[in-house]
Structure 1
Amino acid sequence: MEQITRFFWFCSGANFALLKRTPTESNKYFGIGATVFFTGVLAALAAGYALFTVFQSLVPAIFFGLLWGLMIFNLDRFIVSSMRKRDNAWAEWKLAIPRLVLAVLLALVISKPLELKMFEREINRKLDEKKTEFIAQSKANLAKGFPEIQELEADIDTLKIEVSDAEAFRDQLQKEYDAERFGEKTSGTSGIVGLGTNAKKKEQQLDAAQLALDDLRKRNQIRIDTLEAQIREFMALRQAEFEKQQPGIEGFDGLAARMDALSVLTTESSAMALANIFIMLLFIAIETAPIFVKLISARGPYDELLELHEEKVKLFKGEKWTIAKGESEARVGYFQDTHFYATDLKKEKTNRKNRAETDRELAKWDNDL
């Protein structure tokens, strides 16, 4: 239990030596450290899932997820440990506002991948619908890209219509021939029963129509078989092109696609939108909890000892600075004194030399005169 306590103290960024001297503060920093730690764990899980949707591989997802979680953990630990309890509450809030903004941004980043995981089933259903739309759109575009298939199918329909028209003409002649034989009076029959002259003419017309129909069927069937072979070739090309696009459609499962699907779901369903907001608020509360704990908690003995320690460091720094400044001033004074003394001696020697030269030149002029 002691090791766990020390670990969470470490997570809170507290000083062990000072905490041991203030037992009443132990639980507070234990809770702060636990919150920071589990926030890092949630960040690692969220990043791992998000990266798994990108890489589709477990090893890089685990590695980068742990790296992201450690980074978030270290950042949260720094945010919490850098806050100090002061006597002025407004000054504390002014210093805490940038940290709160950063904590909210981190909460939003952490919550989004976990939202995608929580609504995974609904998102998968929406992605399947989107894939179906892409497949239909792809087939429609490919159909436009192969107009030859429609033209060939239209030619086949024309040939079949020709055969149908010939069959209808043959059937009409068959009815007239039957009516003539059985003495049925119509506009095209005589109404006399038996195989008379008109019946034989009708029979000859029927036989000719049947021969023409058989010939037309044979010729059109050959043409239809040829056209259908061409259609199969074009359909094979179209299928090959569709199979090239198929992996891209099936691979529509990335992070951006899932976020877009989640956005569509929250737009379509007010319940999901409300759940999405609550999840974000939950993570914001978790991420900002350590900061608010420090802000709303009273100034405790740990804060007093910490301030005392910092003030001692400042006093020690002031003492060292005063000593160093005095030693520096002494060295500067000694340098100035010795330097100026040497300079005065040098000036005196120079003046003596100049006076001697001046006296020699004056004496020489007097002799010349």
Structure 2
Amino acid sequence: MNNLQNFFWWCAGIHKETLKKYPEEYNKYISIGATIFFTGLFAALAGGYALYFVFSGGSFALLYSIVFGLIWGLAIFNLDRYIVLSIDKTKGTFKQFLQALPRILLAVLIGLVISRPLELKIFDKEIKEHLRVEYLKQQQATIDTLNRTFENKYAAEYVQLQGLKTQADSLESSIKTDRQKLNHEIFGTKTDETSGVLGYGPYAKMKESNLQKQEIFLDTLRQRIQGKEALLSQRKVKEGIMDEKILTDKSLDSAINVAGFADRNAALSNLHKNPDGTEETSTQYAVFFITLLFVFFECLPVFVKLMSHKDAYDIAVANQNIVHHFESASNVDIEKNALNQLIPHRTDVAIQRRMDKLSQEYEAQKSME
């Protein structure tokens, strides 16, 4: 426990000898150090997963993600530790906030970047279903576009084919009507176009002969339609249009598994849109609040330091800094006086330059105070 306490103190960047004079502040700085450590650890995990997602499927994806995760986590840990150390609690709240503002802005950016891959993993099932629908729509749209292009290219052949079909449909309808009239004539059904005499008479024979001629012509039309359709099908095969087919379940699963970041990111952004055009705000809110959670977690070390009150340790450290500044200024004064005494006896250029440099340092120290 003692080693763990010292480790968290080191994470908080405290001066151990000074803190030991104030035992009542031990737990506070253990908490600050633990917050900094776990934020760095979480950043390492999130950054590692983000890179693993980018290189997923590669031979060295796991190795790259581990190395990048460690580097990213250490960078965030070191940045948090430095900014928490640099916040001077003896100054006003506004000045403390200005000191922490760069880290807060960077944390917001990091939270937005890191949260996206993890959100993609959280909503993985929903994203896959959305991609399945989108890929089917895209494939159908591709097929429709190719067919329209082919039909425009062979518009004359399609016009002829449509004319033959229209003629065949009209003739088939006419044959059905004439067949019904023939039956009425044979069975003696009285109409405006039948004699009403039962039997297979001359009028019935004439109608049947006309029907046979029409059926022969209909067969000829059907053969011509089949020949035209076969010709167009051969041209489709030759131009590769028949190779485009609706994706099967197996093909869809393969396409979804290799889907890139752009497709998954677009699917996550459109999850709140239902196929019928309505919107489901619950999913949109869920994504938004998860992003806020990551942003808050990245900002947590700075917030903890800003929210903590000024304690005896902060005052002691501030007093030590004042003493160090005073001692540094005094050393500059002493060295300056010593050089002034040497100048009457030695007027070489090197000593004069040294005195000018010390004077500049002294003025800089005074302006800082």
* TM-score after normalising by structure 1: 0.71
Q: Is the 8 A contact 1:146 1:238 kept in 2?
A: no
What is the aligned partner in structure 2 of residue 143 from structure 1? 147
SS of 2:345's equivalent in the other structure is: helix
What is the aligned partner in structure 2 of residue 80 from structure 1? 84
Aligned partners of 1:35, 1:308: CA distance in 2, in Å?
26
Q: Is the 8 A contact 1:182 1:194 kept in 2?
A: yes
Equivalent residues in 2 for 1:262-273 (5 A)?
262-265=268-271, 268-273=279-284
SS of 2:75's equivalent in the other structure is: helix
**Quick one: which of 283, 296, 302 aligns to 1:291?**
302
Could you report, residue by residue, the CA deviation over 1:237-289 in whole angstroms, capped at 9, with x for unpaired residues?
3635999xx99975894445444444444684443444445444444444444
Count of aligned positions: 334
Gaps of 5+ in 2: 274-278, 349-369
Which residue identity does 2:13 align to in structure 1? G
Alpha-carbon distance, 1:81 to partner: 1.3
Which residue identity does 1:331 align to in structure 2? L
Aligned partners of 1:34, 1:317: CA distance in 2, in Å?
35
Equivalent residues in 2 for 1:253-268 (5 A)?
253-265=259-271, 268=279
Could you report, residue by residue, the CA deviation over 1:107-139 in whole angstroms, capped at 9, with x for unpaired residues?
444444444433443444444443344334333
What is the aligned partner in structure 1 of residue 3 from structure 2? 3
What is the aligned partner in structure 2 of residue 201 from structure 1? 206
Could you report, residue by residue, the CA deviation over 1:329-366 in whole angstroms, capped at 9, with x for unpaired residues?
233221249xxxxxxxxxxxxxxxxxxxxxxxxxxxxx
Which residue identity does 1:291 align to in structure 2? V
**Pairwise CA RMSD:** 3.9
**Greater CA deviation, 2-11 or 139-148?**
139-148
Equivalent residues in 2 for 1:104-253 (5 A)?
104-148=108-152, 151=155, 155-234=160-239, 236-237=240-241, 239-240=243-244, 250=256, 253=259
Which residue identity does 2:71 align to in structure 1? L
Q: Is the 8 A contact 2:143 2:244 kept in 1?
A: no
Q: Measured at CA, do residues 75 and 137 of structure 1 come closer, stay the same or move farther in structure 2, by a change above 3 Å?
A: farther
Alpha-carbon distance, 1:312 to partner: 4.1
What is the aligned partner in structure 1 of residue 346 from structure 2? 335
Q: Is the 8 A contact 1:183 1:194 kept in 2?
A: yes
Alpha-carbon distance, 1:76 to partner: 0.9
What is the aligned partner in structure 1 of residue 68 from structure 2? 64
Which residue identity does 1:76 align to in structure 2? D
Q: Measured at CA, do residues 280 and 230 of structure 1 come closer, stay the same or move farther in structure 2, by a change above 3 Å?
A: closer
Aligned partners of 1:200, 1:274: CA distance in 2, in Å?
80
Which residue identity does 1:332 align to in structure 2? I
Q: Measured at CA, do residues 217 and 48 of structure 1 come closer, stay the same or move farther in structure 2, by a change above 3 Å?
A: same
Q: Measured at CA, do residues 38 and 143 of structure 1 come closer, stay the same or move farther in structure 2, by a change above 3 Å?
A: farther
Q: Measured at CA, do residues 96 and 171 of structure 1 come closer, stay the same or move farther in structure 2, by a change above 3 Å?
A: closer
| Higher percent of residues as helix | 1
Q: Is the 8 A contact 1:138 1:242 kept in 2?
A: no
What is the aligned partner in structure 2 of residue 28 from structure 1? 28
For the pair shown, the structure with the greater C-alpha radius of gyration is 1
Q: Is the 8 A contact 1:183 1:193 kept in 2?
A: yes
Gaps of 5+ in 1: 338-369
Could you report, residue by residue, the CA deviation over 1:54-95 in whole angstroms, capped at 9, with x for unpaired residues?
332432333323322222111111111112231655544454
Q: Measured at CA, do residues 55 and 170 of structure 1 come closer, stay the same or move farther in structure 2, by a change above 3 Å?
A: same
Alpha-carbon distance, 1:8 to partner: 1.7
Which residue identity does 1:31 align to in structure 2? S
